[in-house]
Chains A and B, each alone.
Chain A
């Protein structure tokens, strides 16, 4: 009799607990956010050498090719600025031209100096890779002979809104 009561109680307990301690539904709260993202990268380290001129004209400008740049931003109206850490020798001008990704605007060939200049503007919410990056080197006759030297070009992307 006692065993029967225990079994009955256990059965009720078992059924009850199975039916009430868990639900057929469960919920979770998922919390998330997306931060501002502005990333730029360049590839290639070109070498430029002016070696000739047309008689009566300034030394012939040389242009590099093969370098590329990539960008990812989730903001609107971001822009890319470029500068060099040390000024160019007198009479030499190093310029950079960055192809614009879709919807943005390239500033064309911009002479580089220690003051940052806009090279691409109006970049909005995109990711683009393998965009053309071209350098050109100009020299006046007054520059004379310039031995091999290097400059580090720094590109900075500034987020918009």
Chain B
């Protein structure tokens, strides 16, 4: 019994410490991780007379923790370089109950809010959905990559 109680205390104490430090010392703990990188997206078809069909990729997920108060954090996303002219990469973060999603955020080299209103959480997850679109004016675009940096920051 004493061993069980000790184990319980050992488990709860660091969580409580994280909570208290976060709440009362400036919400300094927030973490973010992703499950990997999405598969290659390839625009390759269109209905005659219409724009090319967008490609949707939803194979990756994100997980965040926020030792902070209500609406204390948000996640922003940005590319390391702009997309080619006529090609658009948009992202949607499937929101857990303690956050607010912004659908189809077009990404560029400027940080863009993708998930806002993040409340206290020891671990929340969701799906990341990328949508690649291209206008006819984009022409043929050879295979290339962009790095998407996702950052969990204090909400203004």
Chain A residues with a Cβ under 8 A of chain B = 3, 6-7, 9-11, 13-15, 18-19, 21-37, 39-41, 70-76, 125-130
Contacts and interface: CB of A to CB of B under 8 A. Distances in A.
B52 A34 contact: yes
A13 B139 CA distance: 53
Contacts of B145: 29-32
A44 B142 CA distance: 37
Interface string B133-156: 011111111111111111111000
B15 A28 contact: no
B33 A10 contact: no
Secondary structure type dominating chain B contacts? strand
B9 interface: yes
A35 B44 contact: yes
Given A32-B41, A33-B142, A41 B49 contact: yes
Contact of B50 (A28, A30, A125, A129): A129
B65 interface: yes
Contact of B143 (A11, A32, A74): A32
Given A30-B130, A32-B89, A23 B137 contact: no
B10 A22 contact: no
B85 to A, nearest CB: 11
Interface in B11-47: 11, 13-15, 17-18, 21, 29-34, 36-38, 40-47
A44 B19 CA distance: 69
Contacts of A70: 48-50
Contact of B62 (A26, A34, A72, A76): A26
B32 A28 contact: no
